[in-house]
């Protein structure tokens, strides 16, 4: 069985950071913990976040992480 983890890398759900550097750090941590995949939110704007908070485009980030 394989397990993946949804990363909170857009500053949502109590995340301690956001942006590319944070996404990369969290993906490397997930890999070190033995997860088989990482997932990112696919929303361009999250309703519970400030509109001025920049959002990463998920397919580009996932490609870069790969």
pTM over 0.85: no
pLDDT tens readout for residues 18-54: 778 888 999 999 999 999 999 987 766 665 666 666 6
Residue with tokens 């361009």: 44
């Amino acid at each position: 069985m394989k397990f993946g983890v949804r990363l909170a890398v857009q500053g949502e759900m109590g995340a301690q950071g956001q942006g590319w550097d944070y996404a990369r750090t969290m993906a490397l941590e997930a890999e070190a913990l033995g997860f088989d995949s990482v997932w990112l939110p696919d929303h361009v704007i999250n309703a519970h976040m400030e509109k001025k908070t920049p959002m990463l485009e998920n397919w580009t980030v996932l490609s870069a992480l790969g």
